Amino acid sequence: MKILSLAAVSFLSGVLVSAQFTCSPTQPCEIGCCTKFGSCGLGPDSCGPANCISNCDRKSDCDPGWGPKWSAKETCPLNVCCSKFGFCGTTSEFCGNKKVTAPSCSGSSSSARTIGYYESWAIGRPCDKMYPEGIPIGSYTHLNFAFAFIASATSVMSAQILTYFLYRIQPHSRYPL
């Protein structure tokens, strides 16, 4: 049973990967330009007139050295790394040996706050559900709990009736209702 499961996962993974990186004149790339070789990519080698057959105007997220003709922006937002393929990220695939440091603040002013955003409907998603208990303790100084409205001087109500019970759950609160 385990062997069959692993084989199925390997097969499905291979199908998904090949579907993401192969193309034709009738099957364009989801990301990037389609080359005459049936592969998807960005930059002059893939999107240039010598090789491109569809979506030839696509640009990379950042510029790994191709210039503005091939890249949407020169650098990545938040000062993260630009990979040799023109994508932004923080892992070694994007940065190589370069270390990306997270922004930090010092002092007790408002700039020292780390504000998280929790969506009350996060528990109703078909995947990646997150209950309030999953909010990482100590990561935030403040939490924006969306969406709620003030029903009276002493009552907060959910914008969605199914999430009302979340307003009673305070997994890490120092201040009970």
Question: What pTM, to 2 d.p., does this model score?
Answer: 0.49
Cis peptide preceding 147, ω within 30 of 0: yes
From residue 88, alpha-carbon distances to 6, 7, 82, 94, 134 in Å are 31, 32, 5, 7, 27
pLDDT exceeds cutoff 70 at 77 = yes
Residue-level pLDDT at 139:
77
Check: CB of residue 70 under 8 Å from CB of residue 43.
yes
**To 5 degrees, how large is the angle CA 31–CA 43–CA 49?**
100
When pLDDT is cut at 50, 70 and 90, the band that residue 107 belongs to is: low
- Where does residue 140 rank: exposed (0-12), middle (13-18), buried (19+ CB within 10 A)? middle
Question: Domains, the chain, ranges and CATH?
Answer: 18-58 (3.30.60), 59-102 (no CATH), 110-167 (no CATH)
Neighbours of 62 (CB within 10 A): 23
Where is average pLDDT lowest: 7-11, 34-38, 128-132? 7-11
